[in-house]
Amino acid sequence: MEKFHTQSDRAEDVGRRKEPVSAYDVVVAGGGAAGVAAACAAAEAGARTLLIERSSTLGGAVTLRNVLTYCGLYTCRPDPQQIVAGIVDRVLAVLRRLGGVTDMITLAHDGNVIVVVDPEAVKYALDEVCAAAGVDVFLGADVTGIERRDDRIVCARVSDFGATTTSVATGALVDATGDASAAYLAGSSVVAGNGGRTQTSTMGIRFGGIDPAAKLTFATVGQAVRQAIAEGAEGLTSSTGLVIRLPVSGDVVAYLADQDVDATDGSAYSSATQAARAQGWRYLEVIRTIPGCAGAYLVSTGPELGVRESRHLKTKASVTDATLRSGAVPRDTVALAGWPSEFHPGAGAPSEWLQIGGAGAFGVTLDDLRSEDTPNLFGAGRVLGGDLRAGASVRVVGTAFATGQAAGVAAALCNQEGVSDLLTATQTELRRQGARLGLQHGQAHEARRQGLEAP
Ligand SMILES: Cc1cc2nc3c(=O)[nH]c(=O)nc-3n(C[C@H](O)[C@H](O)[C@H](O)COP(=O)(O)OP(=O)(O)OC[C@H]3O[C@@H](n4cnc5c(N)ncnc54)[C@H](O)[C@@H]3O)c2cc1C
């Protein structure tokens, strides 16, 4: 990677420099699933690409928020079909080599299909996949400003741990920050929540010291929480969150500590994070009442609060509930979404589900990713919005890999000489990279199904 700053840069205060110290074809803000897929796809499409992540690890919610299941890689049908492929296959290959991912699991309580990952393996796998794709990665670096010329983004300002601000010129930008903060800083149109509502946040809590034979499930944990509340326990917000056993460690992660918060309000976010962490200790007491769990301990709370949504990028089009209900795959599809709508209406309230129609997946189009007012800005992952129910489907990690890959390719190609039809060029390159843009009928499925039901 090019050296961003030197002693003389610091002396001159690069933050105030007029000329950027570095130039890229594509800058990707945010290194979660969407950002990693976008950066690798852009680089594979021939773009000089920089991935900027404010924490010290790639992975986003997976490595920072204990979100350890990849949803959306498969259709949630009795005969599941892999619908996200390409960059994610490179990640899964490294995870399998490290023993850091399960085979496909069908959840016992709702029939949905997931894989479970080990976060340490994810951190390393994403580093390896980005290096192999030729992506420059800048960790511990916060995108704190975006410069535009007329309607186009021309430069990202990045602040690092050393309190140095660097300017990076770019031809296109992918906002994969989860909270559309790059778009917000660029002055591009954003919107809060979907359909006027914002889902509740939850802190993922990881417990160790669990007997391998202990039955920790959605049902047994829910029952233990309800009993504790009936016996007078206070401060437990939910009894209906997912509970999942991890590969490698055998630890258990539970999504129970809910908080309703506007995550773009720093003060409210701080209080909610601390309140959710306090709940982690209360849930530990409950877990210890379950047979085989007397020696349970907290491995980690978060560390970040799990924010499901805050701001979204306003795009030229956006995913609709009608498309989800029908399972339509329009001809301008660049990614497939296969996770049912899972809307979390408020702290303690059970999730609201809506199944996808047709063959179990619907199409996300190029216009669903492209800013409505900034032609060289694309959104991916949790940044994307839409109708209430469809928006609560496309946000999951598996789909974020798909929308990220599509946004990265489109960003790489949108300034490329000779590209007059961005949609066709993007679809052609995505297919070359192994992405799925339609359901495969009658073909042998690639997914390896694991016999076990989720714990
Ligand atoms: C409690 C909870 C449970 C969930 N359960 C599941 C589940 O079981 N399975 C599933 O598939 N999905 C689940 N989800 C949804 C899933 O976690 C997210 O929607 C998904 O991680 C989105 O990926 P992303 O890459 O868009 O965003 P994120 O994973 O949020 O990544 C965004 C990244 O951008 C970085 N960033 C932010 N701002 C800046 C900036 N200004 N500069 C530089 N970097 C920045 C962040 O540090 C972060 O690394 C859950 C979410 C929550 C909150």
> Model confidence over 55-87: pLDDT tens digits?
999 999 999 999 999 999 999 999 999 999 999
Is the confidence at residue 306, as pLDDT, over 70? yes
Give the mean pLDDT of the chain: 92
Distance CA 167, CA 374 (A): 20
Mean pLDDT for 224-237 is 95
In which residue are the tokens 């309230």 written? 349
Single pTM value for the model: 0.94
Reported as a pLDDT band with limits 50, 70 and 90, residue 338 is very high
Which ligand 1 atom sits nearest the alpha carbon of residue 381? 26
Cβ pair 42, 25 in contact under 8 A: yes
Q: What are the angstrom distances between the C-alpha of 376 and each of 153, 400, 428?
A: 7, 19, 19
Lowest mean pLDDT among 158-162, 185-189, 220-224: 158-162
For ligand 1, say whether the CB of 394 is within 6 Å of any of its atoms.
no
Name the burial class of residue 163, with classes exposed (0-12), middle (13-18) and buried (19+) by CB atoms within 10 angstroms of its CB: exposed
Structure tokens at 410: 């489109």
Which ligand 1 atom sits nearest the alpha carbon of residue 305? 53
User: What pLDDT, on the 0 to 100 scale, is given for residue 441?
Assistant: 67
In which residue are the tokens 């999730």 written? 351
Cβ pair 256, 202 in contact under 8 A: yes
Is the confidence at residue 15, as pLDDT, over 70? no
User: What pLDDT, on the 0 to 100 scale, is given for residue 275?
Assistant: 97
Is the confidence at residue 153, as pLDDT, over 50? yes
User: What pLDDT, on the 0 to 100 scale, is given for residue 20?
Assistant: 64
For ligand 1, say whether the CB of 54 is within 6 Å of any of its atoms.
yes
Which ligand 1 atom sits nearest the alpha carbon of residue 72? 11
In which residue are the tokens 């999951």 written? 396
Which ligand 1 atom sits nearest the alpha carbon of residue 57? 49
> Among 52, 65, 67, which residue has the most ligand 1 atoms within 8 Å of its CB, making it the best to mutate?
67
For ligand 1, say whether the CB of 301 is within 6 Å of any of its atoms.
no
User: What spacing in Å lies between the alpha carbon of 315 and ligand 1's midpoint?
Assistant: 19
Mean pLDDT for 167-187 is 97
Reported as a pLDDT band with limits 50, 70 and 90, residue 19 is low
Share of the chain above pLDDT 70, in %: 92
Which ligand 1 atom sits nearest the alpha carbon of residue 61? 29
Reported as a pLDDT band with limits 50, 70 and 90, residue 8 is very low
Distance CA 340, CA 213 (A): 31
Going by C-alpha positions, the residue among 386, 392, 393 that lies closest to residue 372 is: 386
Is the confidence at residue 11, as pLDDT, over 60? no
For ligand 1, say whether the CB of 178 is within 6 Å of any of its atoms.
yes
For ligand 1, say whether the CB of 391 is within 6 Å of any of its atoms.
no
User: What spacing in Å lies between the alpha carbon of 71 and ligand 1's midpoint?
Assistant: 13
Strand 362-365 and strand 333-337: pairing? Answer: antiparallel
Distance CA 300, CA 25 (A): 38
> Model confidence over 246-290: pLDDT tens digits?
999 999 999 999 999 999 999 999 999 999 999 999 999 999 999
